[in-house]
Structure formats: C-alpha cells, structure tokens
C-alpha cells in the first residue's frame, strides 16, 4: 500500500471480515437484514469509512464496506 501511494497509484484491496470492521457498520448491517427479510432476496448496503489497523498500517485509509 505504501509503495502504491508513494507513486500515486490507485488500488483496491479486499479485507477479511473481522469484529472491528463489523463494529463500524451496525446501521448498514441492520438495513440489509431488514431489506432481506422484506424481499426474501439478498440485500447489500455500502458504507464509506476510515480505518487503520492497530499494528500494520502507518496511517488511516479510506475503505468501502459492504453489509450483506
């Protein structure tokens, strides 16, 4: 990530679901659950947040979360 940022290269990484990430999107998860229950179809709600790992990232980064 640091190398890409140093060279102004845009990038996308998938992050594994974890408790800290889920804690950032409780409203979106609830909205997706209600929509799924109402329609019987999978529902997706997206949210933009900032996130930083405790020990691996040297700064906060923008993330797009998908609640499904």
Q: Is the pLDDT of residue 2 over 90?
A: no
CB proximity list for 24: less than 8 A, separation 6 or greater: 47, 49, 51, 65
Q: What is the pLDDT of residues 19-65, one digit of tens each?
A: 999 999 999 999 999 999 999 999 999 999 999 988 888 889 999 99
The whole-number pLDDT of residue 64 equals: 95
The whole-number pLDDT of residue 29 equals: 98
The whole-number pLDDT of residue 13 equals: 87
State pTM to two decimals.
0.81
């Amino acid at each position: 990530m640091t190398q890409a940022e140093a060279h102004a290269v845009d990038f996308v990484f998938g992050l594994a679901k974890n408790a800290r990430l889920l804690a950032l999107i409780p409203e979106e998860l609830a909205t997706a659950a209600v929509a799924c229950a109402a329609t019987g179809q999978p529902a997706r709600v997206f949210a933009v947040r900032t996130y930083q790992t405790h020990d691996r990232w040297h700064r906060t980064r923008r993330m797009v979360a998908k609640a499904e």
